[in-house]
């Protein structure tokens, strides 16, 4: 079933005029775009030691995850267009790591993930069914990430899962 969903969902893309992320797939039921990840709160705060390529890699993974989760919840002929506006990943990096040490992300209840997005759900007749802007955050986020143990994006994936289920229901 997962391969059928991939055939139906769109990959991630940045805004026009921005370099395209790797591994873009054909357009379909769900289209997820994102703004420049170097301007995300995640890139500007907490002194995260990442390159732009690394940021595009994890935002692309989140876009694909969102498309995979939302696609089965769309009725035949419906389209969902999502634009990720901002991301703050869970946790932070130590501002003064020891010399020569590998940076480690420290996650606590006091450093929850937050994702800001806009979306539009369009019916098969072209009429807008639903439109909105949401800021996703979740109290007790650490307990909700158990579905993705060992995944560096487990908190953000769980946050997106919760939004998709709340906004569009489950099947």
The residue range of the domain holding 74 is: 2-96+103-168
Segment 130-139, tens digit of pLDDT: 999 999 998 7
The pLDDT value recorded for residue 46 is: 57
Q: Which residue has the higher pLDDT, 122 or 144?
A: 122
Model confidence at 47, in pLDDT bands (50, 70, 90)?
Answer: low
The pTM of the full predicted model, rounded to 2 decimals, is 0.78
Evaluate if residue 27 carries a pLDDT over 60. no
Q: Is pLDDT of 171 > 60?
A: yes
Return all residues near 23 (Cβ < 8 A) that are at least 6 apart: 11, 60
Residue 97 in contact with residue 87, Cβ under 8 Å?
no
> Residues 122-149: what's their mean pLDDT?
88
pLDDT > 50? residue 2: no
Q: Which residue has the tokens 């606590």?
A: 108
Per-residue HEC secondary structure of the chain comes to CHHHHHHHCCCEEECCCCCCCCCCCCCCCEEEEECCHHHCHHHHCCCCCCCHHHHHHHHHHHHHHHHHHHHHHCCCCCEEEEEEEEEECCCEECCCCCCCCCCCEECCCCCCCEEEEEEEEECCCCCEEEEEEEEECCCCHHHHCCCCCCCCCHHHHHHHHHHHHHHHCCC
Average pLDDT over residues 157-168: 94
Confidence of residue 33 (pLDDT cuts 50, 70, 90): very high
99 band by pLDDT with thresholds 50, 70 and 90: low
| Total domains present in the chain | 1
Task: Give the model's pLDDT for residue 125.
Answer: 93
């Amino acid at each position: 079933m997962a391969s059928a969903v991939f055939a139906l969902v769109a990959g991630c893309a940045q805004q026009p005029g921005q370099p395209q992320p790797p591994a873009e797939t054909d357009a379909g039921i769900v289209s997820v775009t994102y703004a420049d990840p170097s301007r995300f709160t995640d890139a500007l705060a907490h002194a995260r030691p990442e390159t732009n390529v690394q940021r595009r890699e994890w935002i692309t993974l989140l876009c694909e995850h969102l498309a995979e989760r939302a696609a089965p919840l769309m009725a035949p002929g419906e389209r969902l267009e999502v634009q990720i506006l901002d991301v703050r990943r869970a946790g932070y990096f130590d501002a003064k790591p020891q010399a020569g040490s590998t940076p480690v992300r420290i996650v606590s209840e006091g450093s929850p993930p937050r994702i800001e997005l806009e979306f539009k759900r369009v019916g098969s007749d072209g009429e807008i069914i639903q439109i909105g802007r949401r800021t996703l955050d979740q109290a007790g986020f650490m307990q909700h990430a158990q579905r993705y143990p060992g995944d560096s994006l487990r908190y953000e994936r769980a946050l997106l899962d919760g939004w998709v289920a709340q906004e569009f229901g489950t099947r």
